[in-house]
Structure 1
Amino acid sequence: MRRDPAGHLLRLTTAHFALYRAFLEGLDEHTLHTHYGAPGTDVRVTRRTLATLRETLTIAARRAGDIDAAHLLRLKPGSLPAEAHAGAGQGAAPAAPVPPTLDAFRDQVDPDHFYSERELLGLYLEQFPPASSPAIDRKVARNRRLRERQDAALARMEAALVEAPRPDHTLEGWFDAAVVARLAAVGITTFDALLALIRRRRQRWYTAVPRLGATGARRITDFLDQHAGTLGSLSRLALVPRRQLAPGDAALRPLARAGADVVPLEALRVPAALDGSAGLNRAPVPAHQAEMNTDLQAVNAWIAIRGARSAQTQRAYRREAERLLLWAIVAKGKPLSSLNTLDVAEYLEQFLANPQPAERWIGRGGVERFDPAWRPFAGPLSARSRDTARRILTAMGAWLVRQQYLRVNPFEGLAAAAPVPIDTAGRTLTHAQWRYVLQTVWQPEPVLGAEPDRSDAARADRIRRQRDAFVLLLAYATGMRRAELAAATTGDLSRKALDGALEDAYVLRVDGKGRRRREVPMPARLMDLLRAELRARAEPLSLETAPADTPLVAHLVTGAALHPNTIGALFKGIFARAAERLAPSYPGAAADLQRASTHWLRHTFANHGLDAGADIRDMQSLLGHASLATTTHYAKGDAARQYQTVDAFFNAALEGAGAARRRPSACACASSAGCSPGICARQRATGRPPCRWSSSRPTCSTASSMICLPRSHSSPSGTTACRRARRGPWSTARRGAGDGLQWPTDRSFRAFPSRLACSLIDRYPDRLNL
């Protein structure tokens, strides 16, 4: 390790000695730079490196007391063949041919510079031997001895000075000072930190380092690859984009680790004492089950057989079995087949609720299984997730008992679990929230007279909005899961004739969970959006001519089907944009949208369908639920009606006790935010109901055409009575007739004009003689 004339640290490597060895053999500067110079630099850098090496090696030899090396390594390389043949022509016949120079000989026999200088010289002397002259022979012999001594001196210095990079080394001296400074600016100062960054960011890791481009990054990865013996081999993911690797590529397989460690099942190497072959709960293995001799083999068999129904089921089963097996081996130090009921109770109630130590068990989400940063958990599990784990593992234990692998199922001894409620109401968009989300992606209408923006960016934005609006409405109108959305193709669409209609209707065939197949209607306007979206793709398509495998939800550029995770991210982005717009006015509703996911649209489909009067058994069929009980979870109560009921009896109780009655100055809208009468009227179609009053005020619900008036204004109970509005005669109001408003002629229940009801009641309460 030395410093160059500019004061920068220089660590000598085998590459430096290869460069200097070629220099001593007489290669010219341009050839040296081509074969030994740093990529991306010019010949001046190689020239400066040679000068630095010459001074460094001379000083190091003198300090070591190796005077012979100090002298030999400073000798200027000579041309031995030219000296050997310089006197060859003195006693030769004039007609003898003149041998070529060594450079001309190289161009003739070695244009690609395959041979070293020494090998080329040997070939040259074989083909053009020097003249028989004692003086020339002595000179050739002396030069050969000189080269041998030079080689020996260089080898001694290489053995003494070369240092292989190690993970704990700082980067200073190994790379250019400017590159080292850029890496240090983002906290990368050692090879360990550099390798961790590359593993985490993969092929585009350099984007995390300002002013470091792809070329500079390639030089660094080339250096790391050259020193894989001490730094470790780089994954191909550091050089090749993930999408270009075949599914079975070695780079996509997790590395096996010695001993019991927290790794994916496919990389787990279990010590013999913990593999379960002698587990305390093992049953005698029958001859036909010889392949299930260890816990890992038994678990893999269960995952393969019971998880064959779908990829999602297999992933869920593998996740829970993997977590339990790793916990048994790593945390408890016992085989899975030795766990008892107390152990599994501890696992379900304590460990899953708080996996510790966190650095061993918890990692960031989205890490692929082959990544060393993979961990089994992304955080503590909720009560519902723990209940799911319990049900899956209980089923696994029962299967292993039936296969005569275990004697008893340890999960059967647990106390009955309390049912975990499904929060469907809290994971649903209200009517107002849904309309706001739709407005976020809906294609704006062109302004009359305005020149449309025809730029490429504007066109791309229109296509993106069109695709997003279609995908949002497709999920809302069908209630499909994100995996079902990703799998839907034009081949799944079929026409169906409806009674009472001449036009054809479309239905979409969906293969759902548990291999349950169902058909969901595709509304006519949704089909129009699909046709428009197909025409707008990079390769325009029509519904009639599109191949059967054309995905309904496609990539904007390639037209390929989107992965379920990508669809989930797409919806999260839509909800986030809507929440950002909503936050200044309604932070509570915006917070709900920030939590929303694809599955919220499935709940929203069910709730809005039931609100519109759909039969619950029809909703069960459309959702693909195996049990009607699951569908009933979606039938949430009317929050507005419930609030109104409680508010009514609470006010009645206060009035009965003589408390002052509170008279609201404005209506309360369905969004639970204060609003003016005009806003309340505009929200007439957003939910149940758009306006609410206490028992002392009329209650108007335009959605149900209901007008609610106090049963008796002087009634001590103050309760309200609501009836379905009857269409009846209208007349001009007796007071204030000049305003042109129409009112019922008596105190009976009459229908108000739907667009004006809420605002009129709030603005003119005296017209109703309240």
Structure 2
Amino acid sequence: MPKSASDSPSRPPLSTQKARPPTHIDGEAAQPLRRLTRQHFALYRGYLDGVADAQLHATYGDGSTDVRATRRLIATLRDTLSVLARRARDVEAAHLLRLRPGSIPLAELHGAPDLPTLEDFRDRVDPDGVFGESELLDLYRAEYPPDASPRVDRRIARNARLRRRQADALARMEASLAQEPRPDHPLDGWFEPAVAGRLASAGLVTLADLLELIEARRHRWYTAVPRLGPRGAQRITDWLSLHAQALQHALSPLALVPRRQLPAGHPALTRARPAVSDGHARIVPLEAFRPPATLDGEHGANRASGPNRIGAKTDLQAVEAWLSRPSNSVHTARAYRREAERLLLWSVVAKGKPISSLTKTDCAEYVESFLKDPQPAGMWVGRARAERFQREWRPFLGALSDRSRETARTILNALGAWLVDVAYLASNPFDEIRRIAKPAALDASGRTLGHAQWRFVLSATPCADSTAAGHRDHVALLFAYATGLRRTELASATTGDLVCAPDAEHAADAWELIVPGRREAKRSVPIPRALMDAFRENLRLRGMPEPRACPAGTPLLAHARTGETLSADGLGKIYKGIFARAAARLESQSPAASRDLMRATTHWLRHTHSNHALDRGAELRDVRENLGHASLSTTALYVSNAARRRRAIDALLPSTGVESTD
């Protein structure tokens, strides 16, 4: 019995698949079909089996069209198959495949004109079109047994033979005509001319070109194709997924869904540790790195005698132990991993030594020469968009500046000192490497807002904005200005970090924010009443309760649409947008002040907080505690010439209507 379309899984629309036909069939213009695929035959098999047009369209049709498009495709298939059968001198197939599907005249079989028709019976017992025509007939006969007679038996047998011959004819045509796509096939053989033209305008010629673009650009690949939107792209990727076996290429999950929708640890986001070939390690991220046994450091020349306190046998285990220590910020942990990873790869791949065998001369070469110009560039330098799980990933994006090399030297010196401290290394090979550059002193000049400038930015971000994003931006601006927190501290703050001040006279109105600091230290930052009210209003707009009743981990600054935590980079873009909108409003009144605002970043609000607090008489030590500076001398740098700079900035706003308080 032929398999009905309803037995098949949901498939991409056949409107993207084409086959090569005659342009005119029996005197009538035919819809062009460039290639016949097995999905075309499955559609026509379901049609011959009596499946309703609506069900065929739901299974095989294009979601952007209605059932009429599937009916036209069936008519085209009927004409095309008939002509091709005649050309193959298969007269029987040419005749059988043009017969419309039908059923045995039920009333005639039963001799009773008042029995329900097959369509009425289908609507009652099979409204979803699950059964094929022959299966439905069996159910009908079971409920309404026909009168036994030789004539009825002959009609049933003749009908069954006709169906078998029809199915055999279609199977013969499928065996000789159905084609499978191959990577080297031109695109115009498989897609509609309009779609193929758009793909060609993006420089795509074959199916292999299309697959390469999708894997490189991932789920938003269609942005590289003119006039191709997400719905059209979805139909194309559905078709490619359907033919993955024939194309010998299964699309990566990253090509089908956004990365953020994949759970942490998904195989698509990790790279398996490669086998070491020919005794040589490859340039891969730290989590996938596996050096040869001769270079793993177990017998390194600089290994300390006796057991070490971290139980590490190899350099990789020792480095992973160092990186696994608690870090005060995500950015610090990322920087430590980056520098340790680069050194480990260079030591094993370029020098052919484990880290535990590096000498002071080797380390000086690494910091003073290699980091200045990683060569060969093809091996070490990659593109910015390549992620760690991609083969295109490289540990460098280019040569490092003097400050970046000094940062690397400082981090690696700390790594060496720690490995000596835990008795893994006998000596620290980085401890005598000279400084590359002096650390930059804090310079707030030209990177702070005057009082009038601050009030203008605040007025350009009104709290009464009708959008959730607008209200969030207003709260974010107040939050940064009132507390002076760093960008990462602002992004990571949650309702659970808010506590009532223990020594306040009216504890219900006095709040503090507990901010994690360096080396597991914490500091308390006062939250003004106006900012606390703004937090409550924003939580209410997000459908959240009072801060104390919020679920654990509820961010104070959240994504306006999803309510999820913002990344530090995402929050930085929000502040840049705030400054850009304020600068646009100021452009016609004061172009110089507008240009100044266009340069502003999140850190400007940190400088502005400290300068304005000192202007209002705050003690330097209190400002230092708010900012989280380790040294009072660092905070004191904010005071130098602060008044002169702010007066100069406020002087840029003569026509804003906002008076300066300086």
Following the alignment from structure 1 to structure 2, what is the Cα–Cα distance between the partners of residues 388 and 415? 12
Following the alignment from structure 1 to structure 2, what is the Cα–Cα distance between the partners of residues 353 and 618? 42
Cα separation, partners in 2 of 1:430 and 1:538, compared to 1, 3 Å: closer
Cα separation, partners in 2 of 1:330 and 1:585, compared to 1, 3 Å: farther
Residues 283 and 394 of structure 2 are in contact (CA less than 8 Å); yes or no, is this contact kept in structure 1? Answer: yes
Q: CA deviation at 1:439?
A: 0.7
Following the alignment from structure 1 to structure 2, what is the Cα–Cα distance between the partners of residues 187 and 173? 16
| Matched position secondary structure for 2:630 | coil
Candidates 381, 393, 412, aligned match of 1:361:
381
Cα separation, partners in 2 of 1:265 and 1:479, compared to 1, 3 Å: same
Within 5 A, what are the aligned runs for 1:31-42?
31-42=55-66
> Larger deviation: 149-158 or 25-34?
25-34
Within 5 A, what are the aligned runs for 1:537-576?
537-538=540-541, 547=550, 551-556=555-560, 561-576=565-580
Q: Is 1:439 aligned to 2:459, yes or no? A: no
Cα separation, partners in 2 of 1:169 and 1:591, compared to 1, 3 Å: farther
Which residue does 2:498 correspond to in 1?
492
Within 5 A, what are the aligned runs for 1:321-340?
321-328=340-347, 336-337=355-356, 339-340=358-359
Q: CA deviation at 1:234?
A: 3.7
Cα separation, partners in 2 of 1:419 and 1:527, compared to 1, 3 Å: same
Which residue does 1:662 correspond to in 2?
none
Q: 1:475-508 CA distances to partner (integer Å, 9 max, x unpaired)?
A: 2342211222234355524336689x99986544
Cα separation, partners in 2 of 1:479 and 1:496, compared to 1, 3 Å: same
Which residue does 1:389 correspond to in 2?
408
Q: Give the aligned residue type for 2:242.
A: Q
Which residue does 1:173 correspond to in 2?
189
Q: 1:244-272 CA distances to partner (integer Å, 9 max, x unpaired)?
A: 55445455545776776655434x25364
Q: Give the aligned residue type for 1:535.
A: E
Which residue does 1:222 correspond to in 2?
238
Within 5 A, what are the aligned runs for 1:460-475?
460=466, 467-475=472-480
Within 5 A, what are the aligned runs for 1:108-123?
112-114=128-130
Q: Give the aligned residue type for 1:481.
A: R
Within 5 A, what are the aligned runs for 1:583-598?
593-598=597-602
Q: CA deviation at 1:325?
A: 3.5
Following the alignment from structure 1 to structure 2, what is the Cα–Cα distance between the partners of residues 327 and 105? 76
Q: CA deviation at 1:598?
A: 1.9
Which residue does 1:2 correspond to in 2?
20
Q: Is 1:72 aligned to 2:90, yes or no? A: no
Q: 1:611-642 CA distances to partner (integer Å, 9 max, x unpaired)?
A: 7776554443332223445445555457969x
| Matched position secondary structure for 1:460 | coil
Within 5 A, what are the aligned runs for 1:364-763?
364=384, 369=388, 376-377=395-396, 380-406=399-425, 408-425=427-444, 428-429=447-448, 431=450, 435-442=452-459, 459-460=465-466, 467-489=472-494, 492-495=498-501, 507-522=512-527, 526-532=528-534, 534-535=536-537, 537-538=540-541, 547=550, 551-556=555-560, 561-580=565-584, 593-607=597-611, 616-628=620-632, 630-631=634-635, 634=638, 636=640, 670-671=648-649
Q: CA deviation at 1:402?
A: 4.3
Residues 363 and 430 of structure 2 are in contact (CA less than 8 Å); yes or no, is this contact kept in structure 1? Answer: yes
Q: Structure 2 stretches of 5 or more lacking a match?
A: 1-18, 24-29
Residues 199 and 371 of structure 1 are in contact (CA less than 8 Å); yes or no, is this contact kept in structure 2? Answer: no
TM-score, normalised via structure 1 length: 0.64
Residues 481 and 602 of structure 1 are in contact (CA less than 8 Å); yes or no, is this contact kept in structure 2? Answer: yes
Cα RMSD between the aligned structures?
5.4
Q: Give the aligned residue type for 2:628.
A: G
Following the alignment from structure 1 to structure 2, what is the Cα–Cα distance between the partners of residues 541 and 85? 64
Cα separation, partners in 2 of 1:108 and 1:486, compared to 1, 3 Å: closer
Cα separation, partners in 2 of 1:208 and 1:20, compared to 1, 3 Å: same
Q: Give the aligned residue type for 1:76.
A: L
Q: CA deviation at 1:57?
A: 5.3
Residues 496 and 504 of structure 1 are in contact (CA less than 8 Å); yes or no, is this contact kept in structure 2? Answer: no
Which residue does 2:15 correspond to in 1?
none
Q: 1:410-467 CA distances to partner (integer Å, 9 max, x unpaired)?
A: 4235234442323523573153xx642441232699xxxxxxxxxxx97416x76665
Q: Give the aligned residue type for 1:622.
A: N
Which residue does 1:700 correspond to in 2?
none
| Matched position secondary structure for 1:472 | helix
Following the alignment from structure 1 to structure 2, what is the Cα–Cα distance between the partners of residues 427 and 340? 44
Identity of aligned residues (%): 44
Residues 610 and 638 of structure 2 are in contact (CA less than 8 Å); yes or no, is this contact kept in structure 1? Answer: yes
Q: Give the aligned residue type for 2:577.
A: G
Q: Structure 1 stretches of 5 or more lacking a match?
A: 446-456, 642-667, 687-770
Following the alignment from structure 2 to structure 1, what is the Cα–Cα distance between the partners of residues 479 and 82? 76
> Larger deviation: 501-510 or 337-346?
501-510
| Matched position secondary structure for 1:412 | coil
Which residue does 2:7 correspond to in 1?
none
Residues 583 and 598 of structure 2 are in contact (CA less than 8 Å); yes or no, is this contact kept in structure 1? Answer: yes
Following the alignment from structure 2 to structure 1, what is the Cα–Cα distance between the partners of residues 64 and 70? 11
Q: 1:263-295 CA distances to partner (integer Å, 9 max, x unpaired)?
A: 5434x2536468626675573897788974454
| Matched position secondary structure for 1:2 | coil
Residues 262 and 326 of structure 1 are in contact (CA less than 8 Å); yes or no, is this contact kept in structure 2? Answer: yes
Residues 344 and 355 of structure 2 are in contact (CA less than 8 Å); yes or no, is this contact kept in structure 1? Answer: yes
Which residue does 1:233 correspond to in 2?
250
Which residue does 1:705 correspond to in 2?
none
Following the alignment from structure 2 to structure 1, what is the Cα–Cα distance between the partners of residues 364 and 440? 21
Q: Give the aligned residue type for 1:670.
A: A
| Matched position secondary structure for 1:10 | coil
Q: CA deviation at 1:78?
A: 5.7
Q: 1:703-743 CA distances to partner (integer Å, 9 max, x unpaired)?
A: xxxxxxxxxxxxxxxxxxxxxxxxxxxxxxxxxxxxxxxxx
Cα separation, partners in 2 of 1:170 and 1:502, compared to 1, 3 Å: closer
Q: Give the aligned residue type for 2:290.
A: V
Residues 202 and 237 of structure 1 are in contact (CA less than 8 Å); yes or no, is this contact kept in structure 2? Answer: yes
Q: Is 1:315 aligned to 2:334, yes or no? A: yes
Cα separation, partners in 2 of 1:547 and 1:580, compared to 1, 3 Å: same
Q: CA deviation at 1:518?
A: 1.8
Cα separation, partners in 2 of 1:638 and 1:44, compared to 1, 3 Å: closer
Following the alignment from structure 1 to structure 2, what is the Cα–Cα distance between the partners of residues 328 and 241? 36
Cα separation, partners in 2 of 1:56 and 1:605, compared to 1, 3 Å: same
* Structure showing greater Rg: 1
Residues 50 and 102 of structure 2 are in contact (CA less than 8 Å); yes or no, is this contact kept in structure 1? Answer: no
